[in-house]
Amino acid sequence: MGNLVAIVGRPNVGKSTLFNRLTQSRKAIVSDTAGTTRDRQYGKCSWSGREFSVVDTGGWVVKSDDIFEDAIRKQVVVATEEADLVLFVVDVETGLTDWDEDVALILRRTKLPVILVANKVDNSSEYYQASEFYKLGLGDPQCISAATGGGTGDLLDLILTKLNTDVEEDVEDDIPRFAVVGRPNAGKSSLINALIGEDRNIVTDIAGTTRDSIYTRYDKFGFDFYLVDTAGIRRKNKVTEDLEFYSVMRSIRSIENSDVCILMIDATRGIEAQDMNIFQLIQKNNKSLVVVVNKWDLVEDKTQKVIDTFEAAIRNRMAPFVDFPIIFSSAVTKQRIFKILETAKQVYQNRKVRIGTTKLNEVLLPLIEAFPPPSIKGKYIKIKYVAQIPNTQIPSFVFYANLPQYVKEPYKRFLENKIREHWSLHGCPINVFIRQK
């Protein structure tokens, strides 16, 4: 069960720097192409053999002055509803502001563990300045310098002591876990209700120890799987304004705890930026994917041409990962909802595909011979041998080459496409590694 840590605080106190420090990411890795900008707000941190997710709430602010502080306040509320721990970052250089006091008020009312992080403490005299933050009533300020990394080790130790470790749910391991995700009003609840229907008694609820992350066991019509954290269960706390941040915070947990994500897209609205944000979370977590275009009953023109255009548009936006099933359905009329389950089950099984080494080499080596990696600085790259790595989370293949450092991304994609052409890995992410032979 993943733990979620949210970083909150007013602008320019160093939330992003702290986020980069915790997730060990650098701005350079983040591309500014449309759709990936918000990608940098979510990452994983591992420390002393434990892993948790970090969300930087700063990237979700609406840029306009009058509602600016209001927007951040709402995010603090959303963050406290969804996270397991809040890091409240304040800035020693500017000192205590009214705004910090407002946020502290919200945080004191929650039952969540909160760590007060005093940032920009670069020398010993600034340690004393941090003492004014005791006024916030949130305990000892942890003094750090996110820019230089000073004090972050102690902060991480403290985070681990406050996170719940014993959040194991009694969920059987070999049963697949499906998460239905998507932005608000895409029809997640309708799909879940259509599946579970009135026969709720066949379905068992295991209430999670983390706040109602619920696994619902579904075993009828020959299916057996868990539905993860259904969207309609928690109260929606008047969060109408920043729905996007809300739905991303909400999705993180369900995505992390699932094997297959069923991404719902509203047929009447097409694919939007918010769908892309959720898609990126799915990719980042290496989960299998089934895309469901819901509310198909509301579309007037259902010709094959329309279907093809719609499919092409979705794959186009989600490239380079295009090998996933797309199903047009309607949760209301129950059209093709079992097709969704069948497909999700198939996609889950594709994760477990094992391909014999002999077979891999027989098929792939001649293709590599015909299209070798482009030579760099007059050096020829030879790939001699390929094998699948056993017991990995997702199918992973290693190609042994004489100069692995020269094999670039496009060629790896070529190799991935060839593997997909010859073996059914539909909907399933795969890893391609190039190593020294």
**Per-residue pLDDT, 326:** 94
**Which residue in this structure is represented by tokens 């390929």?**
386
Task: List, for the chain, all residue ranges whose pLDDT scores fall below the cut of 50.
Answer: 27-39, 64, 198-213, 231-240
Contact (Cβ atoms closer than 8 angstroms) between residue 277 and residue 204: no
List pLDDT tens digits, range 173-193: 678 889 888 877 787 877 877
Residues 127, 129, 131, 133, CA torsion sign: negative
| R_g (Cα) of the chain, nearest Å | 24
Kindly tell me the burial class for residue 102, based on how many C-beta atoms sit within 10 Å of its own C-beta (0-12, 13-18, 19 or more): middle
Contact (Cβ atoms closer than 8 angstroms) between residue 243 and residue 277: no
In sequence order, which residues have a C-beta less than 8 Å from that of residue 11 and are 6 or more positions away? 58, 61, 72
Amino acid residing at 1: M
A 10 A CB-CB count for 65 gives 6
User: What CA–CA distance (Å, rounded) separates 117 from 99?
Assistant: 15
**Per-residue pLDDT, 53:** 85
Amino acid residing at 368: I
Cα–Cα nearest to 363, from 390, 397, 339, 393: 397
User: What CA–CA distance (Å, rounded) separates 325 from 314?
Assistant: 11
What are the backbone angles phi and psi of residue 179, rounded to the nearest 5°? -115, 130
List pLDDT tens digits, range 307-360: 999 999 999 988 888 899 999 998 888 888 889 999 999 999 998 889 999 999
Cα–Cα nearest to 262, from 344, 351, 352: 344
Kindly tell me the burial class for residue 351, based on how many C-beta atoms sit within 10 Å of its own C-beta (0-12, 13-18, 19 or more): buried
